[in-house]
């Protein structure tokens, strides 16, 4: 009886011809991809002589990789993770979020998002697969590094 109910249940879930699928396949960051992005961000921070905390998150804002370079302020840890998370969840650079708050959209500041320059969504073939957050001593360097990483199409070879 149990097997018959299982078959009936599965048959009820079967999609009629031409129906939309119930799940989608989306690209995801790999461990190798995360490590490559962390090394690239670290190299850019070294070139700028501005040590940074660097965070990479997945599309859901969950931490995948992190580096805190020597000489980075302790508070930069949470800022980098928050910037990466905000960029991934909002699918836009955190520079836009900061500008919106500065222009009076203060609700963004209360939404639990880090609305500071230095976060960028990471995309593969136009689909957001994560975010990067940079927190160093200079916000200009945060923005430059995050923008450089966010500009890459991770689906490209």
How confident is residue 13, by pLDDT bands cut at 50, 70 and 90?
low
Tens of pLDDT along 113-138?
A: 999 999 999 999 999 999 999 999 99
The domains of the chain are located at 27-150
Tell the burial category of 3 from Cβ atoms under 10 Å away from its Cβ (0-12, 13-18, 19+).
Answer: exposed
Please state which of the four CATH numbers 3.40.50.12780, 3.40.50.720, 3.30.450.150, 3.90.580.10 is assigned to the domain occupying 27-150. Answer: 3.30.450.150
Least confident span in 14-28, 80-94, 136-150: 14-28
| b/e sequence 57-73, b meaning 16+ C-beta within 10 Å | bbbebeebbbbbbeebe
Provide the token pair at 13.
Answer: 């879930």
User: Other C-beta atoms within 10 Å of 17: how many?
Assistant: 4
Residue 69 has pLDDT above 90, yes or no: yes
User: What is the residue-averaged pLDDT of the chain?
Assistant: 90
Q: With left for phi above 0 and alpha for psi between -120 and 50, is residue 7 left, alpha or beta?
A: alpha
Q: Identify the pLDDT of residue 24.
A: 84
- Using alpha carbons, list the distances in angstroms from residue 39 to 42, 67, 98: 5, 9, 26
Q: Identify the pLDDT of residue 74.
A: 97
pTM (2 d.p.)? 0.85
- Distance (Å, whole) CA 25 – CA 139: 36
């Amino acid at each position: 009886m149990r097997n018959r109910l299982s078959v009936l249940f599965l048959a009820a879930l079967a999609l009629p011809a031409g129906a939309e699928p119930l799940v989608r396949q989306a690209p995801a960051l790999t461990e190798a991809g995360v490590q490559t992005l962390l090394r690239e961000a670290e190299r850019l921070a070294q070139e700028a002589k501005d040590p940074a905390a660097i965070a990479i998150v997945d599309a859901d804002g969950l931490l995948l990789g992190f580096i805190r370079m020597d000489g980075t302020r302790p508070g930069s840890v949470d800022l980098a993770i928050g910037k990466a998370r905000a960029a991934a969840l909002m699918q836009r650079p955190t520079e836009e979020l900061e500008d919106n708050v500065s222009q009076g959209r203060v609700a963004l500041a209360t939404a639990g998002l880090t609305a500071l320059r230095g976060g960028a969504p990471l995309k593969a073939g136009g689909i957001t697969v994560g975010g990067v957050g940079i927190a160093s001593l200079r916000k200009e360097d945060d923005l430059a590094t995050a923008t450089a990483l966010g500009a890459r199409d991770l689906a490209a070879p």
